[in-house]
Amino acid sequence: VKAGKLRLVGVTTPRRMPQFPDVPTVSESGLPGFEFNSWFAMMAPAGTPQPILEYLSAEGAKALAHPEGREKLNAQGLTPRGTTPDDLGKAMRVQLTRYGDLIRQNGITAEYRMSSRTW
Residue 21: per-residue pLDDT = 92
Residue 25: per-residue pLDDT = 95
Residue 18: per-residue pLDDT = 86
pLDDT digits (tens, 9 = 90+) for 54-72: 999 999 999 999 999 888 9
Q: Could you read off the pLDDT tens digit of each residue along the chain, which spans 119 residues?
A: 778 898 999 999 889 988 889 999 999 999 988 888 888 899 999 999 999 999 999 999 999 999 998 889 888 888 888 888 889 899 899 989 988 998 999 999 988 777 666 55
Q: What is the DSSP string of 52-101?
A: HHHHHHHHHHHHHH-HHHHHHHHHTT-------HHHHHHHHHHHHHHHHH
pLDDT digits (tens, 9 = 90+) for 28-38: 999 988 888 88
Residue 83: per-residue pLDDT = 86
In order of 55, 56, 65, 73, 96, the CA distances from 77 in angstroms are 28, 25, 17, 7, 23
Domain boundaries, the chain: 1-38, 40-89
Angle at 25 between CA 19 and CA 31, to 5 degrees: 165
